[in-house]
Amino acid sequence: MRVDVVAPRGIIPQVHRLSSRVLDALVLLWLVTTITFALIHLAPGDPAALLISPTASAEEAARQRTTLGLDAPLLMQYAHWIGGVLRGDLGESLVRAEPVTRVIADALPVSLFLGGVSLLASFVIGTMLGMIQSLRASHRADRVITALTTAIYAAPSFWLALALVTLFTSGVVWLGLPPFLRLPAFGMQDPAADPTSIGWADRWRHAVLPLLVLSLPGAAGVSRFARRALLDAAVAPHVSAAYARGLSRGGVERAHVLRNALTPLVVLFGLTLPGVIAGSVFVEQVFAWPGLGRTMLSAIAARDYPVVLGLTLVYAGAVVTANLLSDVILLRLDPRRRTP
């Protein structure tokens, strides 16, 4: 007796689409890392020259290049590196003389903390402001919030960082504000304190300014996006039909307006998610936080090729993974995307 197994309608197109996106993501990841490999090796500068004495002879420089494997043809160096990546080996740092995976593992928690907390704060605060603006559209509150968020979003990050540092350090004294508002501007902890006795209170005080610099522009951008998404969803025809059926305003806003506004917000979240890892490069450098961004800048300055490539792989992987997650979540939120 023959039994035909029929897949549920729409499952096969979804699987095909997801597998196609995974394949596209892998190809994109390969292209990004390959182009980066070529660019950093073609850029001016010799890592070997930075690791030897300025008075070293040409023979000593040549031996150093051989030790680092930089004397091999570029294609051979690429084949060696990509083979290691496929085995899970990102190589060894030329400067630190330790595995790249350890360098990344040491810096990753710092970037995840800064990026994760700031991303959560940006979307929570931004979505709340957007809801307030959509409920008070064209009123004074809407205009005031619009002016403030536009100014914050347009402010350069370096200016915002310097302004906050000035305000919460010397500005606190000049304005006669309470001493507890004077915040540390650099580092993750008090350098004069015993490392074994430093608690979370001290770390959070050091984190306030970096988190503000990351969260304020993010919340300003999300609020503008959420306002527009909510206003567009509120004037959709099915919302008017729901009101005509006698549904309460709260029920319509929860079941129809907020649900439909989630789709563009999820897209924005997917585009912003890689910033959890890669978005704090400038902040880490300014506030002296030893995260991935500061590690990347140091590696570029030192021509530490394996570290630069390893971090590029992490950044690119974060971007393509976030895009894939956005697609999966959108399939769950928007039934129209599940149809063939």
Among the residue ranges 167-181, 256-270, 326-340, the one predicted with the least confidence is 326-340
Amino acid making up residue 311: L
Residues in the chain: 340
Distances in Å between the Cα of 232 and the Cα atoms of 159, 261, 312 are 34, 8, 38
Whether residue 122 is predicted with pLDDT greater than 60 in this model: the reply is yes
Compute CA 76 distance to the chain's CA centroid, rounded to the nearest angstrom.
Answer: 33
What pLDDT shows up at residue 3?
47
Among the residue ranges 84-93, 194-203, 281-290, 302-311, the one predicted with the least confidence is 194-203
What pLDDT shows up at residue 7?
47
Residue 36's CB is within 10 A of a number of other CB atoms, namely: 18
Average pLDDT of the residues in 15-21: 72
Among candidates 171, 129, 131, which has minimal Cα distance to 153? 129
- The CA distance from 281 to 125, in Å, is 23
Band (196; pLDDT cuts 50, 70, 90): low
- The CA distance from 277 to 311, in Å, is 10
What tokens appear for 90 in the block? 């990102």
Amino acid making up residue 231: L
Q: How do the domains of the chain map onto residue ranges?
A: 13-44+90-231+261-338
What pLDDT shows up at residue 50?
64
Residue 56, burial from CB neighbour count under 10 angstroms (0-12, 13-18, 19+): middle
Average per-residue pLDDT for the chain: 77
**What is the DSSP secondary structure assignment for residue 189, as one 8-state letter?**
S
Amino acid making up residue 121: A
**What is the DSSP secondary structure assignment for residue 241, as one 8-state letter?**
H
What pLDDT shows up at residue 68?
72
Tens digit of each residue's pLDDT (9 = 90 or more) over 128-138: 888 888 777 77
What tokens appear for 264 in the block? 């563009």
Amino acid making up residue 76: M
Q: pTM of this prediction?
A: 0.75
Locate all alpha helices (DSSP H) within 69-199, ordered by sequence.
Answer: 74-86, 100-135, 140-154, 157-168, 170-175
Compute CA 255 distance to the chain's CA centroid, rounded to the nearest angstrom.
Answer: 31
- The CA distance from 297 to 50, in Å, is 16
Band (178; pLDDT cuts 50, 70, 90): confident
Collapse the DSSP code of 180 into the 3-class scheme (helix H, G, I; strand E, B; otherwise coil) and give the result.
helix
What pLDDT shows up at residue 5?
46
What tokens appear for 278 in the block? 């890669």
Beta bridge partners of 92: 99
The proportion of the chain whose per-residue pLDDT surpasses 90, expressed as a percent, equals 1
Whether residue 1 is predicted with pLDDT greater than 50 in this model: the reply is no
- The CA distance from 217 to 306, in Å, is 33
Whether residue 254 is predicted with pLDDT greater than 70 in this model: the reply is no
- The CA distance from 183 to 1, in Å, is 77
What tokens appear for 55 in the block? 């008075």
Beta bridge partners of 99: 92
Helices 305-333 + 100-135 axis angle, to 10: 40
Whether CATH 1.10.3720.10 fits 13-44+90-231+261-338: yes
- The CA distance from 155 to 114, in Å, is 20
